[in-house]
Structure 1
Amino acid sequence: MADAPPPGYASTALLVVLALLPAAIAIAFAVTGRAVTGAGVLVGAALLAPGRALVDLQLAVDVLRASRPEILVPTSLAPLEPAAGLWLLVAGHVLAAVAGALALARAGAEPGSVYAAEFDDPSADRPTRARSVFTRSALLAGTIAAVGLLVVPFASDNAFVLALGVVDSPAPARYGLLALALGAAGAAVFAGSAANLAVARGMVLGLLAAVAAVTVPQITAGLFTELLHPAFGPFLALAATAALAAALWSVSPAASAKDADVRLDLRSLHRVAGVLGVLTSAAAVIAGTSSLIVADGIDTPPAYASRLFLPVAVAVLLLSAPMLASGSAAATRPAFIVVLAGVGLAAAGSLDAAFTATGASGAVTVGAGVWFAGLALVLACAAAVTAAIAGGAERDDVDLTERSYALPVAAPAAVAALLAVGAYGLPVLKAPDLVAPGIWAEFRFASWGLLIALGAVVAAAALAPAARPPRAGALLLGAAALVGFRALEYPLTAARAADGRPGQGLWLAIAAVVALVIAAATAVSARR
């Protein structure tokens, strides 16, 4: 932009590295004799290029509604004219899309050439079972990444920097965000279902590089730009894409050559998920024991909002240990995935408290607890996606032809789901001067954590009646622990408000826990 104000942070080197990353990875693979993997990198990155171009064109239409602090932070309402750099940036996206199209078409390689022969090598093909497992898992990861790209990229207390998601964004940025979401989901599924493992690996690396090019500047802006704060969306998109990339690259060509060897990868996925769970627990403990805010010369209040991290960390750690053992991982996995939603519940509440405090005074800055809360959230997302991929791999080895819907389990599970709606929608603590975040009213950043936890409980209650008895029991017990975290908010945070008393949400949470435990006991003892 001509005569543009400076960006919110020193972003030039970061943006250059992120822009060159897909091409650099593709060249590195080509030089080392893995041209097909390099071609996949170009294809994966190209699927996000149209969306990125449309998002950048918003700078030419209305820079004040572009929400691009990594490029500039407006200081007035004066209009800005686009300069040559903007058109070069858009041209770069167009060339990236063309490169991906050429790579997809094998760049006109002659039949019998080395490049075409590598593409047509049948020894690199994945079996139908492996492709089916990763297609379903990639659909889940791509959907999560798409949601992360559609929501607001950061929170803003600066009137000149708007935090806009897909709903609030003007055209062409709105259409660019939609194209980004579709491109991310499409690239993930394309990579998961690709017949050639080299192509699949390259595509997911290209997708990860492209998602990083969008999200890393947003995350950095939220962390280092004055009056801006991080949001969960970019972390979610980056974590889901990284987990899918890790899963695809953890599959060895030898293991993917035979359907019977997919079980070997299942053990590897369980161990990766377990390690991520242990790391999540460690980050949650640090987040729960560190200061959320720092203020010079001011006594900061206790971090009540982050106390929920401690019981969540204990539960995640207890479930992570069995994930590392081959004999117990499969039985523990459903509860492990559900309980990880508790990290989102705790992180959203902690970040909401920190952002509210920093927005109230310029003398208040975020403390170490905020960084570790964000780290715990990213690790939890990666662990959940990895465990979900392992679940898809296991289901391909199970005969589900005689599976039935267990009505004795469905009844208490349905009651529990209804009680959970009230537990998360109504406050667990009531006080004269306390305005608690909610789902239907007082929707704040913390409300996203309530929605994540509620969605996990409802999903577990809906899936359990159709699941195998041990898995159904694990799902429901995990959901019971998740609702239990909501009930623990009262004893852990009651001291934050004078004259506090239990709210309706506390009693509904306790009732939901009881209903879920009954449903779990019924599922385990039921005969299908």
Structure 2
Amino acid sequence: MPAAFAVSVLAFLLLTTGALLPVVDGGQRGLAAGPVLLVVLAGLPLVVAGACVVRGGTVAAAGVLAGVAALAPGRAVLDLQFAAGPSRAVRPELYLPSDLYAHSPAAGLWLLVAGHAATGVAGVLALRSRAGGGDGAVATETGEPGRRLALAVSAAVVAAIGLVMQPFTSADVYLLAQNAFEGPVVAMAGYLLVAAALPVTAAIAASSGDTDLMRGCLLGAAAGGAALALPAVVAALGIGTLGLSPGPVVTLAGLAVLVLAALVRMPVVGAEVGAVGVRLPGSSRLRAATGVLALAAGGCAVIGALTPQLETQGQVAAPESPARWSLLAAGLVVGVLGAALALPRAAVLVRPVLSVAWVAVFVAGTAVLDTAVTATGSAGGVASSGPGVVWTWVAMVGAAVAACSSVVAGAVERDDLDDSDGLDRSDDNSGHDNSGNRDNSGNRDNSDDLDDGDGSGTAAAGVPRTPVVLLGALAVAGVLAIVAFGLPVFTAPDYVAAGLWARFGTPSWGLLAGAVVVLGALALVPRSRPTRAVGLLCGVGVVLALHAASFPLSRGEIAGVSVGPGFWFAFAAVLAVLVAATAAALARSPRENADSPVLGRKRH
């Protein structure tokens, strides 16, 4: 912890100096109290962590540094908008545009970026000190962790939604008050990184089982989020040409609830308290919550696809995004998967599919939002964002939260199966050594333990080694998937589709997310139980199939459209995934056959 505190003090000094110095050569601040406010907000995490140390909570202090560090990458990218295009940065506390000249970044910007980098290093050092032993005992949750998890994640999602909304209204011709999806790409990437980090941090912290670490992480995340929302409120109230917008108010309300989730003791409702604390809610309850989130995300995606993305004044017709039918299809698929989680016998098989398929909403959603970003990206445009923009990004955030909930549910499933394995083996004859799971001394051999899909931990023993056919099919599918996401699925005259290495734009972020999720799922397949492996591969197949389907779904929207190379690579990747799924299904272990709700009942 001393090293973490030292680096956090350095981060505070860098952020403070960067706030006091100009971030743009020749630029003026729009808010006189901006430097003071930014200094206070930069020192807030350090003050909270110091208060935790004074009260004897070094673990909570480590959590504070880790929580604020989770938001540091997004905040750094957001500040880099001053280097990419300062006139498009909506940060009047640092710079208020007064002309259309191209200004160069100044020293203050690089000090701010260095401060965010130091914040991230401090968080890593704090977690490493905690992992290295910390201060001994772990304070476990004494209430119902499920309630705290739901409250914290819900509050973080609300705060994330506020962050990507319009920060304030503006009557200044040089300051365009746009939401995250209407603004420039760099700023949008920063806002999305922060918005995604908030619920993920809240979910990980609330499910950690360590009360002090959880409270610290939630407080640190709230402090980091307030550093973005509070200046917008102060600027709206202190600058005559600006007006208050609901976005930052929604963010601050969500962060206030996040603080309450960290500090308020949750009531005990049927919690089972043992020597190691309490468990997360049952896997069935978590699957049900995941299903509700997925169903809501799918519904929002459908509404976003069917409502206008743009609104125009006068007789000019607003253009429609050709990708809206892909968003409609992705929303229907995710919604159906969410509804299937309500069926107990199907939920165990469907959950791994949803853990991958959610990203299809993100891939299609970013393509849909590209129309609004392009049409509203310049001053004096006749188009403004329509209701479809709001529904689309709510669907994207909801799908990401559903994925986080699905991963947590998978971890609980793993724990349940591990406990079941332990009970079953306790009834076995410990003198048998020909089962591959025990030696002559009765000790379990863990050499065959595998991971239970979507990163949820160790799995049951008895799973055979990964077949060579499966490994080969996974490798081929991974290469084909990368190319499929990188090349256009369709082409047309006078139309250049966004990609990963050509014309990187708003849709490219969705393609990048799809490629990362697909590759991550393929990497987890060899370490998963066969049933979960097949589920992950089905999810990969769904994502690739929906990506390829954007060609037939867009044929009636673009004149002269023809099939592109990305379609054929996606089609070939789906075939490779089918081969891998077949190989994974044939690798089913005897225990999987016994435990399967379809193939049989568990033997005792």
Q: Does 1:506 align with 2:506?
A: no
Q: Which residue of 1 aligns with 2:46?
A: 97
Root mean square deviation, CA, Å: 4.4
Structure 2 counterpart of 1:219: 164
Shift, 1:275, TM fit: 1.2
Alpha-carbon distance in structure 2 between the residues aligned to 1:315 and 1:143: 35
Aligned-residue offset at 1:407: 2.4
The structure-2 alpha-carbon separation of the partners of 1:222 and 1:102, relative to structure 1 and needing over 3 Å to count, comes to closer
Task: Work out whether 1:453 is the aligned partner of 2:514.
Answer: yes
Provide the residue aligned with 2:302 in structure 1: 285
Specify whether residues 151 and 500 from structure 1 end up closer, same or farther in structure 2 by C-alpha distance, changes over 3 A only. Answer: same
The answer on whether the counterparts of 1:291 and 1:368 sit within 8 Å (CA) in structure 2 is: yes
Which of 348, 357, 366 is matched with 1:330 structurally?
Answer: 348
Deviations 1:435-494 (A, max 9, x none): 110101111111010011111111122211221111110000100000011111101123
Task: Give the CA deviation at 1:63.
Answer: 3.7
Does residue 477 (structure 1) correspond to residue 538 (structure 2)? The answer is yes
Choose from 71, 78, 87 the match for 2:36. 87
- How many angstroms apart in 2 are the aligned matches of 1:210 and 1:459? 28
Structure 1 residue 235: Cα displacement: 2.4
Cross-structure match for 1:113: none
Aligned mates of 1:51, 1:213 — CA distance in 2? 28
Match of 1:129 in 2: none
Distance 1:256 1:340, change over 3 A: farther
Report matched runs for 1:26-425 at 5 Å: 54-55=14-15, 57-64=17-24, 77-80=26-29, 86-87=35-36, 89-91=38-40, 93-94=42-43, 96-106=45-55, 148-152=74-78, 159-162=86-89, 170-181=109-120, 195-198=138-141, 218-221=163-166, 226=176, 228-230=178-180, 231=188, 232-244=192-204, 247=207, 254-255=271-272, 257=274, 262=279, 264-297=281-314, 298-360=316-378, 362-396=381-415, 397-398=417-418, 400=449, 401-403=461-463, 404-425=465-486
146 and 62 in structure 1: CA distance in 2 versus 1, 3 angstrom threshold:
closer
> Which digits, 9 at most, give the CA deviation of each residue in 1:326-355, with x for residues without a partner?
443332221111001111101111122210
* Partner residue in 1 for 2:97: none
- Residues 220 and 58 (structure 1), Cα distance of their counterparts in 2 relative to 1, 3 Å cut: farther
In structure 1, the partner of 2:582 is 521
Return the alpha-carbon distance in structure 2 between the equivalents of residues 270 and 204 of structure 1.
Answer: 14
Instruction: Compare relative contact order (CA 8 Å, sep 6+) and give the higher one, 1 or 2.
Output: 1
Q: Give the aligned residue type for 1:428.
A: V
**Contact 1:406 1:466 (8 Å CA) reproduced:** no
On the 8 A contact 1:348/1:449 being kept in 2, the answer is yes
Q: Is the 8 A contact 2:142 2:277 kept in 1?
A: no
The 1-side partners of 2:278 and 2:151 are apart by: 27
Contact 1:340 1:384 (C-alpha < 8 Å) held by counterparts: yes
Counterpart in the other structure of 1:12: none
- Look up the SS of the partner of 1:479 in the other structure: helix
Q: Structure 2: which amino acid aligns with 1:61?
A: L
What are the Cα deviations for residues 24-73 of structure 1, in whole angstroms up to 9, with x where unaligned? xxxxxxxxxxxxxxxxxxxxxxx9998677546433122438xxxxxxxx
Tell me the TM-score normalized by structure 1: 0.71
CA contact (8 A) 2:329 2:546 kept: yes
Q: Could you tell me how far 1:374 is from its partner in structure 2?
A: 1.0
Aligned equivalents of 2:412, 2:478: Cα separation in 1: 28
Q: Per the alignment, do residues 208 and 476 of structure 1 end up closer, same or farther by CA in structure 2, a change over 3 Å counting?
A: closer
* Identity rate, percent: 28
The structure whose residues are more often helix, as a share, is 1
The unaligned stretches of length 5 or more in structure 1 are 1-46, 66-76, 110-118, 120-134
1:347-402 C-alpha deviation (Å, 9 max, x unpaired): 11112221001125521101111101111111111111111122223333436255
SS of equivalent to 1:64: coil
> Contact 1:423–1:508 (CA<8 Å) still a contact in 2?
yes
Q: Radius of gyration: which is bigger?
A: 2
TM-score, normalised by the number of residues in structure 2? 0.63
Give secondary structure in 2 for the equivalent of 1:294.
strand
Assess, with a 3 A threshold, how the Cα gap between structure 1 residues 392 and 343 changes in structure 2: closer, same or farther.
Answer: same
Q: Please state whether the residue corresponding to 1:359 is helix, strand or coil.
A: coil
Letter of the 1:345 partner, please give it.
Answer: V
Aligned-partner residue type, residue 160 of structure 1: S
